[in-house]
Amino acid sequence: MGRSRRTLPEELLLLALDPATGTTAQPQSLDLGLAGAQLVELALAGRIAPDGDRIAVVQPRPTGDPTLDCALELLRRRGAPVRAVHWIGGPRLGLRQIYLAHLERCGMVAAVAGQMCGVLPTTRYQATDNAVTREIRGRLDSAIRTGVPPDPRTAALAALAHAVGLGKHLYPGNEGRSSRSRLRDLIRHDPMGGLVAHAVMDVQNGAAAQPRRNPAPAPAGRPAGPGARPGVPEPARGVPMQPRRGAMARAVVH
């Protein structure tokens, strides 16, 4: 894959950057969108393909993009097709920061150090060439305004922008309501983009969570605790509950 073309994760991130504040809109869902955008980019490069609601590697040859190739290798190691919702819902430590750092190296954004409440160090990112963002935004505007089916890349970008909630950032207020609706409708023009966008929304709605298994009945001969319901075992005594792991401490990038 040549580096003359910006990748979908880069374009999605540039769309999410607020030129006035240097922060990213919808930061939590944006992380999911970047993982999904990687899948679409790999599909456009012919490395993966949808298999129902799953993603299958069809060509493991590297693309030349280190971040995409890392994702491709992880998919290859799975051995079998993986559900898109499980892939996108998996841990993605620092993916947004990786792409911000890449855009900074490419000269598309500039990092601006600051402080929150005068104490906590923060980093904001300002676009250095607003023409790039205007070109990306113009493709979406054209697809929305003309109603002409967009190319797969633009259709996928629109689907991802809708999935992560950028509609209100790109087309705010009541006057942007029809544009947000048409942005959502563009999801149907690219099968892979649609699959990934729906997976991103499913993860946000909790559909990626594993269903709880029905508890096994209590072993025969074991007395049930007071008030215990038939078929529901009493919690094991002397076994402490495992605490949930907290998020790794790291600098927050808006």
Residues 46-96 have pLDDT tens digits of 999 999 999 999 999 999 999 999 999 999 999 999 999 999 998 766 888
d(CA 216, CA 231): 7
pLDDT at 33: 95
Q: Beta-carbon neighbour count of residue 221 at 10 Å? A: 5
pLDDT at 207: 64
Which two tokens mark 112?
């601006």
pLDDT at 149: 87
Q: Which segments of the chain are extended strands (E)?
A: 48-51, 54-57, 82-83, 109-116, 120-127
d(CA 147, CA 186): 9
Distances (CA, A) of 231 to 61, 172, 222, 241: 52, 53, 11, 22
Q: Beta-carbon neighbour count of residue 147 at 10 Å? A: 11
CA dihedral 96, 102, 107, 112 (to 10 degrees): 50
Residue type, 19: P
d(CA 143, CA 156): 12
Name the one residue in this structure whose structure tokens are 């983009």.
193
Which two tokens mark 129?
């060439």
Contacts of 149 (CB under 8 A, 6+ apart): 143, 155, 189
The percentage of the chain sitting over the pLDDT mark of 90, rounded to a whole number, equals: 54
Classify residue 224 by its DSSP letter: P
pLDDT at 2: 38
d(CA 223, CA 233): 9
pLDDT less than 50: residues of the chain = 1-4, 210-254
Distances (CA, A) of 239 to 1, 186, 227, 236: 53, 52, 21, 6
pLDDT at 93: 66
pLDDT at 231: 42
Q: Beta-carbon neighbour count of residue 154 at 10 Å? A: 21
Q: Beta-carbon neighbour count of residue 216 at 10 Å? A: 9
Q: Which H helix or E strand runs over 39?
A: helix 27-44
